[in-house]
Structure 1
Amino acid sequence: MLPFTGSLDSLSGALFALRTSGSLEYCGRVLTSALDELHWDSSPGSYRTIFIAGNESFGQGDVAPVNACVSAQRKDVVALLVWNDRLNQTYLSYLQPTYDTVPVSDLNDPNKVIQYRVVIDSMNFSAGSGLNRIAIKGNARLDRNESWDLVDAERAHPGFAGALERRRLPQPLRHLSPEELTALIRSKGAARDSIRAEITTLSDARSAWLERERTLRAHTAGFSLDTALEKILKAQLQARAFLVD
């Protein structure tokens, strides 16, 4: 659905667009497609991994997962499987299908369509997921939007704004002189840096509190999926000489 990207918004949009029907899970085919169709970094020092999660048999589909795993090993890609079928036999529906309606006229209004999408997307967020997303948005190394954001594009490619055709700019920016456009980009960039610094401070404080809570509950609550994945990732990254803070 999406190539490798540094844009969290693009990734979030693709994830929210995913729909499942409760049918078969073709793990072998998915792994093979990811290995063959994505442009993997071939640098020896890079860490390459695929997370694949499901609750069905790993061997479904026309592509044998073992062959996909062998291919992953050859390409130095770690395939991490997250599987849990304990809830499969516990569902008992008692509701008839219902359909939420949206006025047809609203579908002709781009602003209202965007509003509906934001509301729907927000319904899929837990509080923790939302805060984690904000923390990532606050990290300039993790959230890059050169493809559409003028501030990021100018920082990644100095002189980009000056070389951009004026007709490609939004209407309010077309009348600005080169000096005014540069000043505006710098102003927006400085404001973003300030907000990101505040996000980082708050995120660090939250992380410290969560770590203390995890330590206190470790003997009784055990590992959650988040902590288990974090432990695995840290171990694998450190094995490849990455520094993990």
Structure 2
Amino acid sequence: MKTRKLILPALLCSALSVYALEPSRYWISETPSAATDAFSVYEAGRDESSPRIQVALLLDTSNSMDGLIEQAKSRLWHIINTLTTLKYRGKEPVIEISLYEYGNTGLGEPSDYIRQVLPLTRDLDLLSSKLFSLTTYGGEEYCGQVISNAVSQLKWSDTKADMKLIYIAGNEPFDQGRYSYQEAISEARRDNIYINTIYCGSRDAGISELWYEGARLGKGKYFNIDSDKKVRFIATPYDDRIAECNKRLNETYISYGAEGESKKINQEVQDINASKISASNYAERALTKSKSKHYNNSSWDLVDRAKDDPDYLAHVDNDELPAELKGKSESEIRRYIDKMEKERTAIQNEMSELGKKRQTYIDEQMKNATDEDDLGNAITSSIIELANVKGYRQ
């Protein structure tokens, strides 16, 4: 561990040098392919019998949407933590999230100013990294086309019980572009995908610019928000203790393989990104990391890999191992990994208990709150409503 402790801070510094709202809730319905995850090296621990919740975020990155992107960064972990509370017939679902940007002139006309930033993935650190890399520029927003791209390009589940959601956010007329938004939404509904629309502006403007109609056709929910409003965070007496646990948790990760060190660095970079927003946001991210079902790093962490694929250590190449394990026997490596796993489980359990106390404190504070919900709370409330319709429970 000493070698990693000395090297990682230097690498992290190097990596860093390179490297809202007042929603109106209008529930529209009372009843509710080809891209692969090229970023994941190893896909172990993927129990395909588990229910899945798949969410595609389609964000307008034109000039006027800086506030929207900041809110998405501020509420990513809050949204994910809400998703992790859901169960279907007693089983925890697998969570997969995709990210698209649209309306950015810098993306070029041949692409209709649309880019798939990330396919449906379970790599939450990568998702955070991609979200924090978004910038805004120009403005040609084609809602119909980006919805159609998400429907046709992503590897959506064909299991009826799985929940499939698209959230599209922006502030221009919904019918811009050559591709009909009605046809795009029909494609989504044929695949049992629900379309939720988030208009950045007044309720009436969103209705006149067809964002309400998009949600109605998509059997989803329509919000209007003030995208320039700062997200309200509630500091709790437990945030500092959760942060300390998170630092200890990071020490239990053992990188391996060609991308292991860079993935380990990215884990800590995303901690820093979360902390720059607020201590509360940092705590939200840390609590996500306490949930081993949803925060699984088998592609680069030996502890998760050994748990998902116990035979891996019998044939792992010495060159794949980190410096502290090179030249060790299989039994020595297993003992070290077992030690790290026990430490990790104990820390995650401690964080889970702190998280419960933290949520109780927040719930008490919210009883006296006068502010409307922000973007994160609006999205999570719609997820919970649809989840209940689909048979999911918290």
TM-score (norm. length: structure 2):
0.51
> What is residue 225 of structure 1 aligned with on the other side?
375
> What is residue 390 of structure 2 aligned with on the other side?
240
After TM superposition, the runs of 4+ consecutive aligned structure 1 residues lying more than 3 A away are 86-89, 117-124
Shift in Å, 1:7: 2.0
Q: Output the CA distance in 1 between the equivalents of 2:161 and 2:325.
A: 42
Q: Which has the higher contact order (CA 8 A, sep 6+)?
A: 2
Specify which structure has the higher proportion of strand: 2
Query: Helix, strand or coil for the counterpart of 2:166?
Result: strand
More moved, 169-178 vs 221-230 = 221-230
Asked whether the equivalents of residues 45 and 240 of structure 1 are also in contact (C-alpha less than 8 Å), the reply is yes
2:288 maps to a residue whose letter is I
Of 324, 331, 334 in structure 2, the residue corresponding to residue 172 of structure 1 is 324
Deviation digits for residues 26-77 of structure 1 (CA, Å, limit 9, x no counterpart): 3222222221121112211111111222222222333222221111111111
Q: Output the CA distance in 1 between the equivalents of 2:200 and 2:300.
A: 39
> What is residue 7 of structure 1 aligned with on the other side?
123
Q: Which runs of 5+ in 1 are unaligned?
A: 90-109
> What is residue 102 of structure 1 aligned with on the other side?
none
Asked whether the equivalents of residues 175 and 181 of structure 2 are also in contact (C-alpha less than 8 Å), the reply is yes
Shift in Å, 1:123: 7.3
Of 276, 289, 294 in structure 2, the residue corresponding to residue 142 of structure 1 is 294
2:318 pairs with 1:202 = no
Of 111, 135, 154 in structure 1, the residue corresponding to residue 306 of structure 2 is 154
Shift in Å, 1:160: 1.6
Q: Which runs of 5+ in 2 are unaligned?
A: 1-116, 203-225, 229-261
> What is residue 72 of structure 1 aligned with on the other side?
188
Shift in Å, 1:119: 9.5
Q: CA 1:122/1:141 → structure 2, altered by over 3 Å: closer, same or farther?
A: closer
Of 186, 190, 195 in structure 1, the residue corresponding to residue 338 of structure 2 is 186
Query: Helix, strand or coil for the counterpart of 1:181?
Result: helix
Of 37, 53, 61 in structure 1, the residue corresponding to residue 169 of structure 2 is 53
Q: CA 1:88/1:10 → structure 2, altered by over 3 Å: closer, same or farther?
A: closer
Q: Output the CA distance in 1 between the equivalents of 2:335 and 2:350.
A: 23
Instruction: Decide which structure has the larger Cα Rg and report it.
Output: 1
Query: What fraction of aligned residue pairs are identical, expressed as a percent?
Result: 27
Query: Helix, strand or coil for the counterpart of 1:4?
Result: strand
Asked whether the equivalents of residues 274 and 285 of structure 2 are also in contact (C-alpha less than 8 Å), the reply is no
Query: Helix, strand or coil for the counterpart of 2:121?
Result: coil
1:153 maps to a residue whose letter is R
2:343 maps to a residue whose letter is A
> What is residue 157 of structure 2 aligned with on the other side?
41
Q: Output the CA distance in 1 between the equivalents of 2:279 and 2:359.
A: 14
TM-score (norm. length: structure 1):
0.79
